[in-house]
Amino acid sequence: MFDPDRLITKRARSIDASGIRRVFDLAAKVQNPVNLSIGQPDFPVPDTVKNAAVRAIETDRNSYTVTQGIPELRERINREFDARFKHGGRWAEYGTLVTSGVSGALVLALMATVDPGDEVLVPDPYFVMYKHLTRLAGGVPKFIDTYPEFRVTAELVEPHITDRTKVLLISSPSNPTGVVMDAATWRELVDLCERRNILLVSDEIYDVFCYNAEQTPVGPRCPSPATYSDHVLVLRGYSKTYAMTGWRMGYAVGPKAIVEQMTKLQQYTFVCAPSMVQHAGLAAMELDMSEAVASYKTKRDMVLAKLTGEFEIAEPHGAFYAFPKVPTGETGQKWVERAIARDLLIIPGNVFSERDTHFRISYATDDATLEKGLDILLDLAKG
Ligand X SMILES: Cc1ncc(COP(=O)(O)O)c(C=O)c1O
Nearest distance, CB of residue 319 and ligand X, angstroms: 7
Q: Which residues bind ligand X (CB under 6 A)?
A: 39, 101-103, 127, 171, 175, 203, 205, 237, 239, 245, 250
Nearest distance, CB of residue 366 and ligand X, angstroms: 20
Nearest distance, CB of residue 288 and ligand X, angstroms: 21
Nearest distance, CB of residue 247 and ligand X, angstroms: 9
Distance CA 94, CA 258 (A): 9
Long-range contacts, 292-298 (Cβ 8 Å, 24+) = 292/41, 292/43, 293/208, 293/209, 293/210, 293/211, 293/220, 296/41, 296/209, 296/211, 296/320, 296/363, 296/364, 297/211
Rounded to 5 degrees, what angle do the CA atoms 287, 290, 292 make?
100
Residue 315 phi, psi dihedral angles, 5° rounding: -60, 120
Distance CA 248, CA 274 (A): 7
Where are any strands of DSSP class E within the chain?
34-35, 95-99, 119-124, 140-145, 165-171, 199-203, 214-216, 219-221, 232-237, 250-254, 321-322, 344-345, 347-348, 359-362
Distance CA 215, CA 217 (A): 7
Nearest distance, CB of residue 130 and ligand X, angstroms: 8
Distance CA 172, CA 85 (A): 17
Nearest distance, CB of residue 237 and ligand X, angstroms: 4
Closer to ligand X by Cβ: residue 177 or 331: 177
Closer to ligand X by Cβ: residue 179 or 376: 179
Q: Judge contact between 110 and 139, C-beta under 8 A.
A: yes
Nearest distance, CB of residue 62 and ligand X, angstroms: 22
Closer to ligand X by Cβ: residue 175 or 275: 175
Using CB atoms, what's the residue nearest to ligand X?
Answer: 101
Closer to ligand X by Cβ: residue 40 or 153: 40
Closer to ligand X by Cβ: residue 39 or 373: 39
Closer to ligand X by Cβ: residue 102 or 180: 102
Closer to ligand X by Cβ: residue 103 or 263: 103
